[in-house]
Amino acid sequence: MPPIDVIGVGADGAAGLAPHLRMKIAQCERLYGGRRLLNMFPEGDGVRVTIGSNLPEIARLLLKYRQQRQVVLATGDPNFFGVADYLYRHVGREHLNVHPHLSCIQLLFARIRESWHDAFLASVHGRSACGLTDWVRRHPKVVLLTDPVHHPGAIARRLLDQGIQNRRMVVGENLGAPGEKVTEWDLEEAAEKTFAPLNVVLIRRLPGREPEPIRKPEPVLGIKDGNFAQRAPMKGQLTKREVRAVVLARLGLSKTCVLWDIGAGSGSVGLEARGVIGEEGRVYAVERNAQDVENIRENARRLRRSLHVVHGEAPEVLESLENPDAVFIGGSGGRLDPLLSVCAGRLNPGGRLVMNAVTLENATAGYRRLQELGLDPDLIQLQVSRSRPIAGKTRLEPLTPVFLLTGEKSSGGGEAG
């Protein structure tokens, strides 16, 4: 079977490709790409499939037509915050040949005659920008891939709102195309400007200026319950500090792991986990209640921790997320069986699933389902009491007992049905 060719394309389209790559595109039987990229290659008789927010369907089609010559068009370097990462995970890296083009970041630094090995690289293209302020505070050079929501003006306004000063913004527009432009601005100037949709941003600290003082951060573990915004009249129903500590220990988090926090509520588990998971890892807070979603975003701002907030009903909304290394289920919305089935099936080998429950029925139902799914469940109960004053003395006041159910997927994978 022929390999699937993933070809990076620059703003100059076919003119910037080697002859053998142009031939692959012209002779392929199925050509996939965004509308702009497909329009760059009008020749050829193959089937043309538009890529948008339909990556699961694209992966299915690529596997279905493995016998045919298939080409996926991508912007710049497909390996840099591009489509290649998704295809590696959902199609299989053994089926893919990636042909990178120059990335817009390489072009930007070439245009400004500056090295980029010491730059912090990130993307807010279709992603959360919660970490933006911290990135800029911590790193003298920050490069961002943007999108129509997180455009240069919006980025500049966000930084100014957070008190960021002593920075300049370099914007590269339509790099590699005949009308390319590179300009540099103060943040106040950039906030008022309009830029071409295809752009990349560099934010750099002015020479000789020290970074703004960073307020004392919240502890990595043990954030006080009262520090989280919560939904009235549900206040007090977040996962308590002592329980969170055990949950995070049982999840077995690493610096690079991907965590799903399902039924996230105030986002307390996911946000505290962010203190353990490094910048190269990701946290997805999945919540169906709109007010809770806003509280998660507010708590992320308060704690200056970044996560991806997913507003929707699980398990359906999980389909578009990358496979997790760890899953925490804080609420199932009465759909425990299908939720556990999807999570167990998507969990990476060696990953852990932790679920809390306050009723015997949910704890036993979850235990049986994880047994059926091959995740070798373990069940504990946590009983925490906190000291309270009484008549000049001290008593212990118990919190609601909580069951914690943990399942671990073997390195060979468990059953998923």
The answer to whether residue 272 is domain-embedded is yes
The answer to whether residue 95 is domain-embedded is yes
The answer to whether residue 211 is domain-embedded is no
Per-residue pLDDT of the chain in tens (417 residues, 90 and over written 9): 899 999 999 999 999 999 999 999 999 999 999 999 999 999 888 999 999 989 999 999 999 999 999 999 999 999 998 999 999 999 999 999 999 999 999 999 999 999 999 999 999 988 777 778 889 988 999 999 999 999 999 999 989 987 888 999 999 999 998 889 999 999 999 999 999 999 999 999 998 766 655 555 556 677 888 888 888 655 556 889 999 999 999 999 998 899 999 999 999 999 999 888 876 788 999 999 999 999 998 888 788 787 889 999 999 999 989 999 999 999 888 899 999 999 999 999 999 999 999 999 999 999 999 999 999 999 999 999 999 999 999 999 999 999 999 999 987 644 444
* pLDDT attached to residue 389: 95
In angstroms, the first-to-last Cα distance of the chain is 30
Are residues 389 and 311 part of one domain? yes
Are residues 131 and 83 part of one domain? no
Alpha helices by DSSP H, 53-112:
55-64, 83-87, 104-111
Q: To the nearest 10°, the Cα dihedral for 129, 135, 141, 143?
A: -20
* pLDDT attached to residue 234: 58
Residue whose C-alpha is closest to residue 273's, from 226, 316, 234, 328: 328
The token duo for 183 is: 């300009």
From CA 153, how far away is CA 167, in angstroms rounded? 14
Element (H, E) at 244: helix 241-251
Cα-only R_g, the chain: 24
The answer to whether residue 210 is domain-embedded is no
* pLDDT attached to residue 210: 62
Are residues 186 and 285 part of one domain? no
Are residues 72 and 174 part of one domain? no
Domain boundary (57, 74, 102) is at 102
Are residues 148 and 178 part of one domain? yes
User: Can you spell out the DSSP letters for 40-82?
Assistant: T-----SEEEE-SS-HHHHHHHHHHTTTS-EEEEEES-TTTTS
Are residues 385 and 291 part of one domain? yes
**Are 143 and 76 within 8 A, CB to CB?**
no
Per the structure, the count of domains in the chain is 3
Exposed e or buried b for every residue in 14-53, given b needs 16+ CB within 10 A?
Answer: eebbeeebbebbeebebbbbeeebbebbeeeebeebebee
Are residues 112 and 64 part of one domain? no
From CA 70, how far away is CA 2, in angstroms rounded? 8
Element (H, E) at 380: strand 378-382
Are residues 298 and 393 part of one domain? yes
**DSSP 8-class letter at 140:** S
The token duo for 287 is: 């919540």
Are residues 131 and 82 part of one domain? no
* pLDDT attached to residue 235: 56
From CA 333, how far away is CA 310, in angstroms rounded? 16
Are residues 129 and 161 part of one domain? yes
Residue whose C-alpha is closest to residue 168's, from 205, 117, 211: 205
CATH assignment at residue 293? 3.40.50.150
CB atoms within 10 A of CB 264: 32
* pLDDT attached to residue 209: 65
Alpha carbon 410 to chain centroid distance? 25
**Are 327 and 351 within 8 A, CB to CB?**
yes
Which residue is associated with the tokens 């118990």? 398
From CA 73, how far away is CA 337, in angstroms rounded? 39
From CA 343, how far away is CA 409, in angstroms rounded? 11
The answer to whether residue 321 is domain-embedded is yes
CATH assignment at residue 92? 3.40.1010.10
Domain boundary (205, 236, 266) is at 205
- Domain range for 146 is 105-205
CB atoms within 10 A of CB 330: 26
Distances (CA, A) of 242 to 146, 293, 307: 39, 23, 22
**Are 326 and 351 within 8 A, CB to CB?**
yes
Peptide bond into 78 cis (omega under 30): no
CATH assignment at residue 183? 3.30.950.10
Domain boundary (102, 137, 172) is at 102
Alpha carbon 104 to chain centroid distance? 21
Are residues 302 and 383 part of one domain? yes
The answer to whether residue 416 is domain-embedded is no
Are residues 187 and 93 part of one domain? no
From CA 325, how far away is CA 243, in angstroms rounded? 20
The token duo for 104 is: 């817009």
Which residue is associated with the tokens 């990229």? 37
Pairing mode, strands 4-9 and 70-75: parallel
pTM of the complete model: 0.60
Pairing mode, strands 181-186 and 167-173: antiparallel
Which residue is associated with the tokens 């990636």? 98
**DSSP 8-class letter at 217:** P
